[in-house]
Amino acid sequence: MKHIVIGTAGHIDHGKTTLIKALTGRNTDNLKEEKERGISIDLGFTYFDLPSGRRGGIIDVPGHEKFIKNMLAGVSSIDLVLMVIAADEGVMPQTKEHLQILQLLNVKKGIIVITKIDLVDSQWLDMVIEEVKEEMKGTFLQDAKIQLVSSTTKEGLEELVNAIDSITEEVESKNTVGSLRLPVDRVFSVSGFGTVVTGTILNGSVKEGDMVEIYPSKIQCKVREIQVHDEKVKLAEAGQRSALNLSNIKVKDIRRGDVVSAVDSMEPSLMVDCNLHYLQSNNRPLENRQRVRLHHGTSELLCRVIILDKQEIKPGENAYVQLRLESPIACKKDDRFVIRNYSPMYTIGGGIIIEPLSKKAKQFDQGHIDELKIKESGSTESILENIIENLSPKFPDKSLIQKSIDLKPNIIEEKINNLKQHGKIIELLIDNNPIYIHVKYMDEKAKLMVHQLEKFHMDNPLKVGMTKEEIKGKVFGKKLKQKIYDEILHILAEKGIININGNYISLNTFSIKYTKEQKEIKEKLILIYNKAGFSPPKYEELASKEKDKKTFKMVYDSLIENGEIIKINEDISLSFSSYNKAKDTVIRYINEKGSITLSEFRDLLNTSRKYAVAIIEYFDYIKLTKRVDDKRVLT
C-alpha cells in the first residue's frame, strides 16, 4: 500500500492545528507551553484514515517565524502540503516564507486550505481567494485546489478530505528496497523500554531486530520494537511515520537531526558540494564565505558558503557552492536543503546536494566545477553535451572539446556519436575535419536568420533575397569562416528553411509577387532589352521617361537580382536571352578556332567596340574567358 505523509504550512494563528483536530479528532499541541500560549512551538504528529482506505500520517508545523527551524524539520519529509491561509487575514509573511521553503525542498503536491470562512462575508472571501491565486502564481501551488473550510462549523471538511484522498493518488511511491534512512525528529525515553526515536522513513525499510547505525556519531544499536501510528508492527517502510525503540543507546547520545540508517550505508562529512538557488526576494548578493544556517532533513547546522563559479551570487541566481560545515552531516546525493541567514534568521535559498563527501575545492577551479556538472547530470554524456552547447559559437573540433573535459579521446568519440544519433548535436565536416555544434545553437541561428529574412522580404518585396554576406554579418558576425557558413546554409536549405539563389538567400516560402503596375513595367523592360540586343540603352535614359521612378527602380533592380537582366557594368545591361546568346557565341567560336579577338567578337555580335569590350571583360571577370596577349581563350 502507498504510504502518505501530509504536512501543514502557513502563518501563525491561521488555524493549522485546529484544522488537524477537526480532521482527526486529535490535538497535536502536546507541550504545556503550547497549550498555555495557544500556539504551536514544535512539531505535532497524528494520522487519519482516508475514504480510499489509505492512512495518512500528518505533521503539523508551527507558523511563528521564531520556530521556522522546527517547521523545516517537519516538512523535509512530506509528500503533500496543506497550505493553510486564514480567510480573515489572507496571505501573511510566514505564508510566503513557508511557500519558499516548500519550493526549495521540491514539494510537488498540495492543497490550499482557506480556513475561518465563518468569520468573513462572501465579498471579503472572494477578495482573499483572488489574493491567494495571485500569490501562488509561478509556484507548485499555482493550479492547486482551493478548499474553503471552517474548523468550527465543520463546513467544507468533507470536501477537503475527499480532495486529500484524490491527490494522494498522484503521489509517487517511495523506494522501499534500498537502505533504511530515517531522519530523527524526536528523541525520548519510555519507562521500561528505553530510548525511542521517531521520524519519517525516507528510503528502504526496517524490521524488528535489525541492527542500525546512528549518523553522524556512527553508534550502532538494535531495533527492539517498531510502532507506526501508535500500532506495534514488525516492519516499517518508506513513507511511514515510525517510532523505533532502540537498545544499547542512551537518549543523550542521539538528537533531532541525526539519521537512523543501515549499518555502513552512510559516511559523515564536513564538506558537501551543491547547486544552490539564491532566492530572488533577497535584497543583497550572497558573499563568498558567508556564514549561514543549513537545514537538511531534520537537522540544523552552521556552515560557510564557498562559491565555486562566481564572485558572489545575486538574487535569483544559481551557483555551484561548497558548504563547509562546523559539525558533520550525514546526507546523500540529490538530497534537498535550505539555507537561512545566520542573523537575523530568514530563508535565503536552498538547493540540491551533488557530492556529499567532497574534498576541499578552490574558487574557480574549472576541473572541479566540470566534475560537479558530470555528477549533477549523472552522465558524462550530459556534461559533454553541455560543453558542446557552450562552445558552439566557437565551432569546436575534438581537440578543443578535449581541453574542456578530462576524458580519454575514445570516450569523447563514443559520447559524441551517441549525441549525434540522438539528434542533440550536429557534425560539420570542414576540410575533412569534423566540428560540432549543438542543435539549440543551430535552431537559435535559424530563427534569427528567418527573422532577418522576414523583415527583409517585407521591406523589399521585389528583391530575390539578402546577399549571403549581409545575412552572415547579421546572424553570425563577419568573422565566421566561409566554409563553415556555406555548410550551415546547406543544412538550412536541406531542411527547407531557406532557398539559395546564387549569392542570394531567401525564405523557402518567399516568392516575388508583382503588382499590376510593376508587372507592366517588368514586361516593358524585358521587351526593350530583348529588342536592343547587344546595343542596350542606359538605365538613366529609361528612368528619365518614367513618372514613378521609385517603382521603376524597384522593378529594374528585381530583374537584375533574379537574372532576367544581366548587369555587365554600371552603364551596360543585357537581357537574359542576349547574354546567353553572347556566351554561347564566344564558347562555340573558341572551341572551333582555339581563341577569339575583340574585333572577331564584335563582328559576331554585330555591335560596337564599346559593347563588345564590356561583354568580353565581363566574361573575363566571371572566369569564362581569359586574355592571352590580344586574344581570349576559355579558362
Asked if 381 and 294 touch (Cβ cutoff 8 Å), the reply is no
The three cell numbers locating residue 304:
560557510
Asked if 330 and 312 touch (Cβ cutoff 8 Å), the reply is no
Rounded CA separation 407/150 (Å): 62
Domain limit, last residue, from 339, 368, 397 = 368
Print the SS3 string covering 40-70.
CCCCEEEEEECCCCCEEEEEECCCCHHHHHH
Q: pLDDT tens digits for 80-120?
A: 999 999 999 999 999 999 999 999 999 999 999 999 999 99
Tell me the mean pLDDT in the region 159-186. Answer: 89
Quick one: pLDDT at residue 64?
Answer: 67
Rounded CA separation 606/633 (Å): 20
Do 18 and 131 belong to one domain? yes
In a domain, 188, yes or no: yes
pLDDT of 31 higher than 60: no
Do 212 and 249 belong to one domain? yes
In a domain, 499, yes or no: yes
The three cell numbers locating residue 2:
502507498
Quick one: pLDDT at residue 485?
Answer: 95
275 to each of 272, 335, 426, 483, 520, how far by Cα in Å?
10, 11, 29, 40, 67
Q: pLDDT tens digits for 547-605?
A: 888 888 888 888 888 888 999 998 899 999 999 999 999 999 999 999 999 999 999 99
Do 433 and 539 belong to one domain? no
Do 201 and 300 belong to one domain? no
Q: In one letter, which amino acid is 124?
A: W
* Confidence band, pLDDT 50/70/90 cuts, at residue 33: low
Rounded CA separation 338/76 (Å): 10
Asked if 609 and 597 touch (Cβ cutoff 8 Å), the reply is no
Residue-range definition of the domain harbouring residue 360: 269-368
Rounded CA separation 467/174 (Å): 60
The three cell numbers locating residue 487:
555548410
Under DSSP, the state recorded for 536 is: P
Quick one: pLDDT at residue 434?
Answer: 95
Q: Find the Cα–Cα–Cα–Cα dihedral 77, 81, 82, 87, rounded to 10°.
A: 110
Report the b/e string of 352-378 with b at 16+ CB within 10 A. Answer: bbbbbebeebebeeeebbbbbbbebee
Contacts of 138 (CB under 8 A, 6+ apart): none
Quick one: pLDDT at residue 1?
Answer: 58
Do 89 and 40 belong to one domain? yes
Phi, psi for residue 475 in degrees, rounded to 5: -100, -45
Residue 198 pairs in a beta bridge with 186, 243
Sign, Cα dihedral of 238, 242, 247, 253: positive
Maximum C-alpha span of the chain: 125
Print the SS3 string covering 333-367.
CCCEEEEEECCCCCEEEEEEEEECCCCCCCCCCHH
CATH, residue 218: 2.40.30.10
Domain limit, last residue, from 309, 336, 368 = 368
**DSSP symbols for 91-130:** S-HHHHHHHHHHHHTT--EEEEEEE-GGGS-HHHHHHHHH
Do 340 and 274 belong to one domain? yes
Work out whether strand 347-355 and strand 631-634 pair parallel, antiparallel, or are unpaired.
unpaired
Other Cβ atoms less than 10 A from the Cβ of 315: the count is 15
In a domain, 176, yes or no: no
Radius of gyration, CA atoms only, the chain: 38
Quick one: pLDDT at residue 35?
Answer: 52
Q: pLDDT tens digits for 277-294?
A: 999 999 999 999 999 999
Quick one: pLDDT at residue 501?
Answer: 87
Run of H or E including 255? none
- What is the end-to-end Cα distance of the chain in Å, rounded? 85
Do 302 and 328 belong to one domain? yes
Mean pLDDT over the full length of the chain: 91
Rounded CA separation 369/405 (Å): 11
Q: pLDDT tens digits for 34-50?
A: 455 555 667 888 888 99
Residue 56 pairs in a beta bridge with 4, 48
The three cell numbers locating residue 388:
558542446
CATH, residue 62: 3.40.50.300
In a domain, 374, yes or no: no
Asked if 542 and 623 touch (Cβ cutoff 8 Å), the reply is no
In a domain, 174, yes or no: no
CATH, residue 581: 1.10.10.10
* Confidence band, pLDDT 50/70/90 cuts, at residue 267: confident
Do 146 and 8 belong to one domain? yes
Residue 49 pairs in a beta bridge with 55
In a domain, 29, yes or no: yes
222 φψ region: left (φ > 0), alpha (ψ -120 to 50), beta (else): beta
How many domains, the chain? 5
Other Cβ atoms less than 10 A from the Cβ of 480: the count is 15
In a domain, 250, yes or no: yes
In a domain, 173, yes or no: no
Work out whether strand 433-438 and strand 425-430 pair parallel, antiparallel, or are unpaired.
antiparallel
Do 399 and 495 belong to one domain? yes
Domain limit, last residue, from 197, 231, 262 = 262
The SS3 of residue 201 is coil
Do 531 and 505 belong to one domain? no
Q: Give the angle 390-393-397 at the CA atoms, nearest 5°.
A: 80
Quick one: pLDDT at residue 105?
Answer: 93
Run of H or E including 75? helix 68-75
User: Residue for cell digits 574557480?
Assistant: 364
* Statement: the pTM of the whole predicted model exceeds 0.85: no
Do 309 and 240 belong to one domain? no
Do 236 and 333 belong to one domain? no
